[in-house]
Structure formats: C-alpha cells, structure tokens
C-alpha cells in the first residue's frame, strides 16, 4: 500500500486533471494553490515522470497523468457511491425487526402480509426476543418493546397503552355464564406474570373484590403465547390486552366477558437509531405500524 503514502498528492492530481487548473483544484480540496503544486511536485519526484504541462492559463495533464487521473476518478466515484449507500440506503432492501414473542404473534405477523403488499420492495425479517438488541451497531434495525423504556440515544416512539381485561374462550364464557367479577375466583386463572398472581390480585382489587387467595385456582405458564393457547383451549381466563387480541375477538374465539379492567397494564414503544442508513424504509414501516395500531384501537372502541 506504498502508493497510499501519496494519497494527498493523488487527490490533487485527480482534481487538477479534471479542472485543468491548480487553482480550481485547490478550491475544491480546500487547500492553497501552493499546497497543490507542492503535492504534485512530490508525486512527480516519486513517480519519476512529468505530470502537467502549462499551456496558456491551463495545466494540461500528460498522457500518463491522464491515465492515472481517469483511474482515480473512477475509484473515487466508487468510494463515494459506497459511502452514500452506507450512509443512506434507499427504500428497497432488508429490514430486521426485533420484538417480544407476544407482539410478534398477536399483532405483527398476522398483519405483516398487508405491509408486504404495500411495500414488496422491503424484505422484513422478524426476530422474537425478550431483550432490546443494539440497534446502532448490530444487524437489528427496529425494536418494538414492552413497558417503560430507557431509550438512551435511540429515537423512541410510543405506540400504545392498553388496559388489561379478563379474556377467555367464548365457549367458557357461555358455559360459566360469566357476568360478574366475583365469578372469576371460581375459575382457573391463567398467569404468565413474572411475579405470580400479582396482576390478578391487582385486578380483583380494582374490581372491588377480595378473594380467598388460598382458594384461587392457578394455571402457571411461561409467557403470553402459552396463556393465549391455554385460554383458546377453554382451560381458563387470562389477563390480556383487547387491542392485541383483536384478531381472536373478531373471529369469536376469544371474548372479554366482564367490563372491569386493570388500568395501564400494557405499553409498547418503537425504537430505532435516527442515523440508521435504512431510515427511509424504517419510516415506511413506522408509518404503516402506526396506521395499524390506530385501526386496532378503532376496532376496540367500536
């Protein structure tokens, strides 16, 4: 890589050959005309050839100087194009999204076909995990996360808050004739909380009920997906988000039989790095997701 020792001189050669002028080359490179002249003399001494010949007011490159300048122009152009692509990619391309298992299975994946039809040029990959990955240096581009978020340097957009309500299969609601909150103390309570029973006890308190905690029947599961599967099978009631369960409520397989809610139980945010080279396609996804959430909210309110 010996030639890179003369990189400044090569930049001066390329600019001077293009402009046929040391002065214009100096203006482009933000250095003095004397500095351009010095760099070219050093380059001539290193190469052992004459690079420019003065003709009137212009500096004409010799044939070998022009050959080198043409190669440099092409190379600098390739570097510039690559730099631009890295700094700011266009809309077409890949978009990697990391989110929770429940958001992926309940909201994102059931509706992703709609986004694919609107933006077939964007290839979305969804990864489910419980942790927020590095959105600046790793391969993930967007994070969709549950709860209160310490975003740090990331751009953070609030997606929605939703109360949690008892959800169960329509068949179970009919069989048990669920019409009053006190009846749930006799049902199997599906619990996916990391602090077992906490949300259910908070819901009973909000409903004005003090159940016999020793008599409550629990179905302990590891996550919301398992809770949903258990409820759909008719094996109990779980606390969940009506917004996130809309596809099942619309289909009639789940129902929210009681009006009592646990306020503010669900909160989601969208995060990404504002300087991401994929910002154009990130914003396409962000706009689509916001519209989807608005549509789901309207369905919940209807």
**Nearest-angstrom CA–CA distance, 262 and 257:** 14
Distances (CA, A) of 83 to 77, 80, 103, 271: 10, 5, 35, 25
How far does the chain reach from its first CA to its final CA, in angstroms?
A: 69
Choose among 122, 124, 118: nearest CA to 93. Answer: 122
**Nearest-angstrom CA–CA distance, 240 and 174:** 19
pLDDT of residue 131: 80
Instruction: Give 91 or 184, the one with higher predicted confidence.
Output: 184
- Domain 6-87 in CATH 1.10.10.10: yes
The whole-number average pLDDT for the span 69-88 is 79
In this predicted structure, the answer to whether residue 266 has a pLDDT above a threshold of 90 is: no
pLDDT of residue 159: 95
Check: CB of residue 225 under 8 Å from CB of residue 105.
Answer: yes
**Nearest-angstrom CA–CA distance, 269 and 100:** 11
| H helical segments located in the chain | 7-19, 22-29, 33-47, 63-87, 101-103, 109-118, 170-176, 198-206, 224-232, 246-251, 279-301
Check: CB of residue 207 under 8 Å from CB of residue 260.
Answer: yes
Task: Render pLDDT for 128-163 as a digit per residue (tens, 0 to 9).
Answer: 987 877 787 678 999 999 888 888 889 999 999 999
pLDDT, averaged across the chain = 90
> Tokens for 204?
């009973």
pLDDT of residue 192: 83
Q: Predicted confidence band at 1 (pLDDT cuts at 50, 70, 90)?
A: very low
Q: Which of 161-175, 186-200, 235-249 bottoms out in mean pLDDT, i.e. has the lowest?
A: 186-200
In this predicted structure, the answer to whether residue 289 has a pLDDT above a threshold of 80 is: yes
Task: Render pLDDT for 188-203 as a digit per residue (tens, 0 to 9).
Answer: 999 986 667 789 999 9
Q: Which of 129-143, 223-237, 241-255, 269-283 bottoms out in mean pLDDT, i.e. has the lowest?
A: 129-143
Query: Which helix (DSSP H) or strand (DSSP E) does residue 108 occupy?
Result: none
CATH topology (fold) of 89-301 = D-Maltodextrin-Binding Protein; domain 2 (3.40.190)
The whole-number average pLDDT for the span 74-98 is 81
Q: What is the DSSP string of 26-68?
A: HHHHTS-HHHHHHHHHHHHHHHTS--EEEETTEEEEPHHHHHH
The whole-number average pLDDT for the span 204-233 is 91
Task: Kindly tell me the sign of the dihedral angle through the C-alpha atoms of 297, 300, 200, 232.
Answer: negative
Q: Could you check whether 6-87 and 89-301 share the same CATH topology?
A: no
pLDDT of residue 2: 52
pLDDT of residue 281: 94
Count the neighbouring beta carbons within 10 Å of the beta carbon of residue 3.
Answer: 11
**Nearest-angstrom CA–CA distance, 36 and 34:** 5
Percentage of residues of the chain with pLDDT beyond 90: 70
**Nearest-angstrom CA–CA distance, 93 and 285:** 12
**Nearest-angstrom CA–CA distance, 54 and 155:** 55
Name the residue ranges covered by the structural domains of the chain: 6-87, 89-301
Query: Which helix (DSSP H) or strand (DSSP E) does residue 234 occupy?
Result: none
Q: Is 63 left (phi over 0), alpha (psi -120 to 50) or beta?
A: alpha
pLDDT of residue 137: 66
pLDDT of residue 155: 93
Phi, psi values for residue 178, rounded to 5°: -70, 110
Q: Please list, in sequence order, all residues whose beta carbon lies within 8 angstroms of the beta carbon of residue 224, skipping any fewer than 6 positions away.
A: 101, 102, 106, 192, 238, 240
Phi, psi values for residue 175, rounded to 5°: -65, -40
pTM of the model: 0.66
């Amino acid at each position: 890589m010996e030639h890179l020792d003369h990189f400044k001189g090569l930049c001066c050669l390329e600019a001077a050959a293009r402009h046929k002028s040391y002065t214009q080359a100096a203006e482009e490179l933000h250095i003095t005309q004397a500095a351009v002249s010095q760099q070219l003399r050093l380059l001539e001494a290193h190469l052992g050839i004459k690079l420019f010949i003065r003709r009137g007011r212009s500096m004409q490159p010799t044939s070998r100087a022009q050959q080198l300048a043409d190669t440099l122009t092409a190379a600098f152009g390739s570097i510039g194009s690559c730099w631009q692509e890295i700094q700011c990619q266009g809309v077409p391309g890949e978009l990697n999204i990391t989110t929770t298992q429940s958001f992926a299975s309940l909201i994102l994946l059931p509706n992703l076909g709609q986004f694919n039809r609107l933006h077939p040029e964007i290839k979305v990959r969804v990864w489910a995990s419980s942790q927020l990955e590095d959105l600046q240096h790793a391969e993930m581009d967007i994070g969709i996360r549950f709860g209160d978020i310490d975003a740090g340097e990331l751009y953070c957009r609030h997606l929605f808050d939703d109360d949690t309500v008892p959800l169960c299969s329509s068949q179970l609601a009919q069989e048990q004739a669920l019409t009053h909150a006190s009846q749930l103390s006799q049902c199997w309570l599906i619990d996916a909380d990391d602090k077992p029973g906490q949300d259910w006890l908070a819901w009973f308190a909000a409903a004005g009920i003090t159940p016999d905690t020793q008599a409550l029947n629990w179905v302990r599961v590891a996550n919301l997906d398992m809770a949903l599967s258990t409820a759909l099978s008719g094996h109990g009631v779980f606390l969940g988000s009506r917004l996130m369960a809309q596809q099942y409520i619309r289909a009639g397989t789940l129902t929210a039989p009681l009006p009592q809610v646990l306020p503010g139980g669900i909160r989601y945010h969208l995060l990404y790095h504002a300087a991401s080279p994929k910002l154009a396609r990130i914003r396409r996804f962000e706009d689509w997701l916001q519209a989807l959430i608005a549509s789901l909210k309207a369905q919940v309110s209807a």
